[in-house]
Chains A and B, each alone.
Chain A
Amino acid sequence: MAQVFDVITTAAILYAVAAGLLIVFGVMKIINFAHGGFLTVGGYSALLVTELGLNPWWSAGFAFAIGFVCGMIIERLVVRPLYARPLDAILATWGLGIILGQLITLGFGREVQFVRSPLSGAIDLLGASYSQYRLILVLAAVAVALALGLLLNATRLGLQTRAVIMNESLARGLGINSGLVRFLTFSLGSALASLAGALITPLSSVDPNMGVPWLVNAFMLVLVSGVSQLSLGVACLVLGGAQVLVSTYANPVLGGLTIVVLAAVLLRLRPQGFARE
């Protein structure tokens, strides 16, 4: 039973981390390699909350706000010129990630630090004793998914975004300001990454490079999901579950490989991944 929880909580965490990357990829068709940097920004936002002595529950909102602002600045300055050059966009955003990491190091120091967890200890659920905080993360991931879904499907901005995702030139022809959509999408994606960073740090630690291992996993999950929230969820469950199984029964190190290898092979066999068409 605990293992089922492991799978579900792992999938939830992966989803939270990858959601921001998904919308950026969907709308702008570029892979934002600065995503890891934004995760780190979120982690350090949580650290700030701890250092300022505020209630740890504030970290999430705080991180979201900071991520949003950073995203806005970066979209204007760096991402805009690269829309037509996807491979170069990967490189430039990776460089951005490095810059973010270095700025954080200059500000906070390079050592590993820890944030206070808002919730600690285990709870007895369905016959297994399991970490409360991890279970809360499932709720958080679901909340993120629902909020994103609502935003995309029930608001005018969401409609415009979906139009841009499907066919940008046509959308522009219909009068939709795709520049604004991209701007807001990138900022939202960064904010989500930052939020995810703040959510995961109570489980481990913060250091200037914490985002990097998550980046590659998130990136592969997004590639196999196409542009659908639903397929992202499926991908997180299937690949995340595989990771948990391999980690438990074989070797945690090889477990870390599972998502990446399975995704690469899956894409080779079925280039659209888990997406429907």
Chain B
Amino acid sequence: MHRRLVTLSAGTALLATCLGSPFAAAEDVIKIGIPVGLSGANSVVAPSVVQSAELAVDEINAKGGILGKKVVLEVADDGSGAAGAQKAFDSLIFQKKVDVLITMETSAARNAGLPIVTRGKTPFIYTSFYEGRSCNRYMYVNAWVPDQQVAPIVDYFMKKDKAKTFFLIGSDYAFGRGMLEFTAKYIKSKGGTVLGEEYLPMDGSDWTAIIGNLKAAKPDALITSTAGGAPNVTLTKQLRAAGVNIPYGNLAVDEGTAKSMGTDAEGIFISASYFTNIDSPKNKQFLAAMQKKFGADLKTPNDLSVPEYEAVYAYKMAVEKVGTTAADKVIPALAGVAVDGPRGVIKMNKQRHAPLTMYLAQVQKDGSVKVLETFKNVDPGNQCPNLK
């Protein structure tokens, strides 16, 4: 009995110490929360995302911050998955009390975080390309959805390579399934056939059986949509090791990851809204600033990290427009601001999504990317018809 009282009081004492820490004095800063995959599948690209945010924040603070307040970043690891995202979102929204969440994540993480975003009533700008149709009162998206990205690759294969049969491989979660579902529909609508559709869990790395089935099916072209980062690398490595050289369109690889694949990446087709060799003054300015800030530690800016940079500016503009960080004011304002960044002028005004300029490119032997076709102002389609 006595013992129990003691343990109970010891426990309460320890809890009280934990209480002490998060009572941060209400400082005069604006906190941007970044829950991102520092570990797990996305860990290959997460550093580049954080770097983009850091540059944007540096630049903004150098010019006086937002509404005169300094901008601070809070980064949390979401483990690239649902369980980790819950902890990360919880920590950022309720412990660190951030004003906004701006980040790129896997769809698993995003889906798990959204209920917490709703509960915490925090604005959320999602900067990752994804499978589309995720809608939440507090969320905006400034990256592409399949309606903008899939057509260029499929059309190219069907036209240039006369491909009629396709094989699809993906990571088994909302993104992989959503992307390939859209792709399969599009292929069929264009008269093509899908010979096989195979999935591995997000963290899976043994593609042997799937590659075996791919080779047995003998398709004209391969299209893949794995989680961004590690699964791309393992799949490509194993494909090349198995001698697969058919036209290969990768819906989910970014330029940085492609570079890290070395020679294995040669020949892969990418459809994206950003490449480092986009010839615009804004892009050149951006790249120079990144190079100056990070030097040798710079991670290649890519289609998953550049939208982060632009989103921070979008938030800045929205807050300055309404003069407050209050969510109910900022959220409608986000639809009206136009950011002129490395990807051009972007406005998230189509049902919380943004029309984008898309490029079809192919990875070259030296790791660089050669743009083959450009599509201006591609509409995202009907993503969230019920959200105003």
Do A and B contact each other directly (Cβ–Cβ < 8 Å)? yes
A122 touches B241 (CB 8 A): yes
Chain A, residue nearest B77 (CB): A110
B237 touches A204 (CB 8 A): yes
| Chain B binding surface, main DSSP class | helix
Which of B212, B213, B215, B230 is in CB contact (< 8 Å) with A207?
B230
B38 touches A110 (CB 8 A): yes
CA A131 – CA B213 in complex, angstroms? 15
- B291 near A: Cβ within 8 Å? no
- Among listed B142-150, B159-167, B196-204, interface-contacting one: B196-204
Q: How far is the CB of A37 from chain B (nearest CB, A)?
A: 17
How many chain B residues sit at the interface, stated as a range, is 35 or more
Q: How far is the CB of B321 from chain A (nearest CB, A)?
A: 37
CA A239 – CA B41 in complex, angstroms? 28
B241 touches A133 (CB 8 A): yes
Chain A, residue nearest B215 (CB): A2
B43 touches A207 (CB 8 A): yes
**A90-141 interface with B by 8 A CB criterion:** 110-112, 114, 116-117, 120-122, 129-134
- B238 near A: Cβ within 8 Å? yes
A207 CB contacts on chain B under 8 angstroms: 39-40, 43, 230
- A155 near B: Cβ within 8 Å? no
B212 touches A6 (CB 8 A): yes
B213 CB contacts on chain A under 8 angstroms: 248
CA A252 – CA B326 in complex, angstroms? 48
* Best-buried of B43, B204, B215, B241 by chain A (most CB within 10 Å): B241
Pull 19 A–B residue pairs with CB atoms less than 8 Å apart, ordered by A.
A3-B212, A6-B209, A9-B208, A10-B208, A111-B43, A111-B44, A111-B47, A120-B240, A121-B243, A122-B241, A129-B243, A131-B238, A203-B234, A203-B237, A203-B241, A205-B205, A207-B43, A253-B172, A253-B201
| Chain B residues close to A by CB (< 8 Å) | 38-41, 43-44, 46-47, 77, 172, 198-201, 204-210, 212-213, 215-216, 229-230, 233-234, 237-238, 240-243, 260, 262-264
| Chain A residues close to B by CB (< 8 Å) | 2-3, 6, 9-10, 110-112, 114, 116-117, 120-122, 129-134, 202-205, 207-208, 244, 247-248, 252-253, 255-256
